[in-house]
Amino acid sequence: MQEASTRDVSADTGIPKSNLARWKKQSSEILHFEGTMKRFHLHGAGRPVLIPNADGLEAFMHKRRDAELALTCTHLVNYLKRNHKPWLEQYLSDHRSGYKSLLKLLQQFCARHGFTRQKPAKSKQTQEQLEKVR
């Protein structure tokens, strides 16, 4: 295929001629590549994280979960107030419905990191029975 014209190869494979011409120019670099040939993901892909120190927020969430405490968006907002007040004020002032968009951002952050929302359900056991199990 390296000797065939880009027009013929494009007609046979359906790959645009511009791609084939670029690959032909870069053929020596492509063929002599010494890195891993298997990539599971592209670095830098995806939406950038808006929340500052997202790792710290995630650690806070895991700490509350490990202590078997409830985790709500109010707790996350309070964490941001304590640790990232300038960013929080800027975020709220930049958006028309700032608090509502902040809650949506935090809910998406929780879902992305494996925290699901609790849905109310009827408790079949009393609180005393649940305390005994613990």
Q: What is the pLDDT of residues 84-98, one digit of tens each?
A: 999 999 999 998 899
Are 28 and 62 part of one and the same domain? no
The beta strand positions in 30-125, using DSSP E, are: none
Contacts of 70 (CB under 8 A, 6+ apart): 64
Number of domains in the chain: 2
Q: Are residues 7 and 31 in the same domain?
A: yes
Task: Give the domain extent around 71.
Answer: 54-112
- pLDDT, one tens digit for every residue, the chain (134 residues): 667 788 888 888 888 988 888 888 888 887 887 777 676 665 666 777 889 999 999 999 999 999 988 889 999 999 999 999 999 999 999 988 999 999 999 999 999 888 887 776 776 777 788 888 87
Co-location of 36 and 59 in the same domain: no
My answer on whether 33 and 69 are in the same domain is no
